[in-house]
Structure 1
Amino acid sequence: MASKALQQLVNETKWPLLDYLIVDMPPGTGDIQLTMAQNIPLTAAVVVTTPQDIALSDAGKGIAMFEKLDIPVVGIVENMSFFECPSCHTQSPIFASRGASKLASRYKLPVLAEVPINMQIRENADNGHSLFADHSNTYLQDIYLDAARSMAANMVNKIKVSQVAIASGGGIDITRLD
């Protein structure tokens, strides 16, 4: 049911010309991920994980699935990497330390970001506000901006493109070299 809704969203929405369409999917290699990877033309994937062993195991399975389906993985983002004390700025790994780095080494991928546990991120998300609407925490904004820049640069490096053309429906057709 969820995979059908995702297909409907992607295929039946009249999208404007997009540079990127980012779809946040649940962890794992279940029906949603397989349907997306097999039925919707994906340019690349970014794998987001937390540092716990079980999450890293799921992330590794996701990377293996994307590789098997010939979808380039441009990097890994580690969410909830650490807690930074707002008073003294000491960083403490709550769950584990550097799990994404170990996973990235195994698959020869870059770590695009290590996102901390942070009240401002949670409060903004809970209230439906962008972290970028409030300019008081450029440190957090820089983490996300650096990840986006790294993702874009790694997409250019990973994907061999032979042709880019405007499609009849207004989208962009990218022909990959295999």
Structure 2
Amino acid sequence: MAESDSDSGNLAQVRHVVLVLSGKGGVGKSTMTTELALALRHAGKKVGILDVDLCGPSIPRMLSVGRPEVHQCDGGWVPIYTDSEQTLALMSIGFMLENPDDAVVWRGPKKTALIGQFVTDVAWGELDVLLVDTPPGTSDEHLAVVEKLKKKHHVDGAVLITTPQAVSTGDVRREITFCKKTGIRILGIVENMSGFVCPHCSECSNIFSQGGGEELAKLTASPFLGRVPLDPQLATSLEQGQDFVRLFPHSATYSSITTITQTLLRSLEAA
């Protein structure tokens, strides 16, 4: 860590901090954050998710935790645990809205202030990995997250999510530039929605294109973590707040997510 444990505060017992970034919306960034967290938990790790996608907090629904009341302890806000063993913790603005349909219509300074509170005032306890789900783009929220985290903890790096099409990989190029300018190590690129898995025969068809994420990784000398197809079973699991990793261990999508997770873990542990 960059600072002493006393300076790190509520992040003192967090081993690794990983940002999940995407250059544009709709590429499955929150989906991949959720599935990485579940796969890490099944690998025996204690995991936290900090959801700073303030205008689109979808992870509470994906993990089926509803809108529980957030409590305070001596160390700050207590995160919401998704399981009785308390191996997967979550903090999101979604827990703080009076109505789930409320829009967060805030100017930059108010967003930055809340992100600062999320970084400093959540009592995470002991975690192996804290995943930070960010909004699309390279805006005030991203700068606030990076600056606040670097003051309190070493940021291990970022996982970048893209879809195969050129319009998505072009936006991820900007995200790579953002990482380089802010000194964030790129842990790897994930090509999401890489083909469509037929629910009847399990054959994977390339309805968009394929290889854009891997090609981008080569062009930018970034690690390529793998491809995740469009899978109706995964979509249904997320809609119903179910654990896809536990329910479909024999699917090709499970294999992809597990391989990506293991590669990420090896990268974190080798750093």
User: Given the two structures, how large is their TM-score scaled by the length of structure 1?
Assistant: 0.79
In 1, Cα distance between equivalents of 2:247 and 2:201: 22
Corresponding residue number in structure 1 for 2:117: 8
Q: Which runs of 5+ in 2 are unaligned?
A: 1-109
In 2, Cα distance between equivalents of 1:76 and 1:136: 23
| Alignment check: 8 A CA contact 2:189 2:223 kept | yes
Corresponding residue number in structure 2 for 1:60: 173
In 1, Cα distance between equivalents of 2:136 and 2:173: 10
Q: Quote how far apart the aligned CAs of 1:31 are.
A: 1.5
In 2, Cα distance between equivalents of 1:28 and 1:89: 34
Corresponding residue number in structure 2 for 1:49: 162
In 1, Cα distance between equivalents of 2:165 and 2:142: 21
* Structure having greater relative contact order (Cα 8 Å, sep ≥ 6): 2
In 2, Cα distance between equivalents of 1:3 and 1:130: 32
The 3-state SS of whatever aligns with 1:112 is: strand
Amino acid of the residue matched to residue 221 of structure 2?
K
Q: Quote how far apart the aligned CAs of 1:45 are.
A: 0.7
In 1, Cα distance between equivalents of 2:245 and 2:199: 19
Amino acid of the residue matched to residue 225 of structure 2?
L
- Aligned positions of 1:131-142 closer than 5 A: 131-135=244-248, 137-142=250-255
| Alignment check: 8 A CA contact 1:27 1:59 kept | no
The 3-state SS of whatever aligns with 1:59 is: helix
- Which of the numbers 36, 46, 50 marks the counterpart of 2:145? 36
Corresponding residue number in structure 2 for 1:175: none
Deviations 1:97-117 (A, max 9, x none): 211011100111222121110
Corresponding residue number in structure 2 for 1:70: 183
In 1, Cα distance between equivalents of 2:117 and 2:165: 33
- Which of the numbers 103, 119, 130 marks the counterpart of 1:21? 130
In 2, Cα distance between equivalents of 1:86 and 1:19: 35
Corresponding residue number in structure 1 for 2:265: 152
Aligned sequence identity (%): 30
Corresponding residue number in structure 1 for 2:45: none
| Alignment check: 8 A CA contact 2:199 2:233 kept | no
In 2, Cα distance between equivalents of 1:6 and 1:78: 28
Amino acid of the residue matched to residue 38 of structure 1?
E
User: Given the two structures, how large is their TM-score scaled by the length of structure 2?
Assistant: 0.54
- Which of the numbers 194, 216, 224 marks the counterpart of 1:111? 224
In 2, Cα distance between equivalents of 1:76 and 1:107: 10
In 2, Cα distance between equivalents of 1:2 and 1:53: 31
- CA RMSD between the two structures: 1.8
| Alignment check: 8 A CA contact 1:37 1:66 kept | no
In 2, Cα distance between equivalents of 1:54 and 1:5: 31
In 2, Cα distance between equivalents of 1:3 and 1:117: 34
Aligned length: 158
Q: Quote how far apart the aligned CAs of 1:57 are.
A: 1.5
Amino acid of the residue matched to residue 174 of structure 2?
K
Structure 1's 4 and 52: CA in aligned 2 closer, same or farther, altered over 3 A? farther
Q: Which runs of 5+ in 1 are unaligned?
A: 160-178
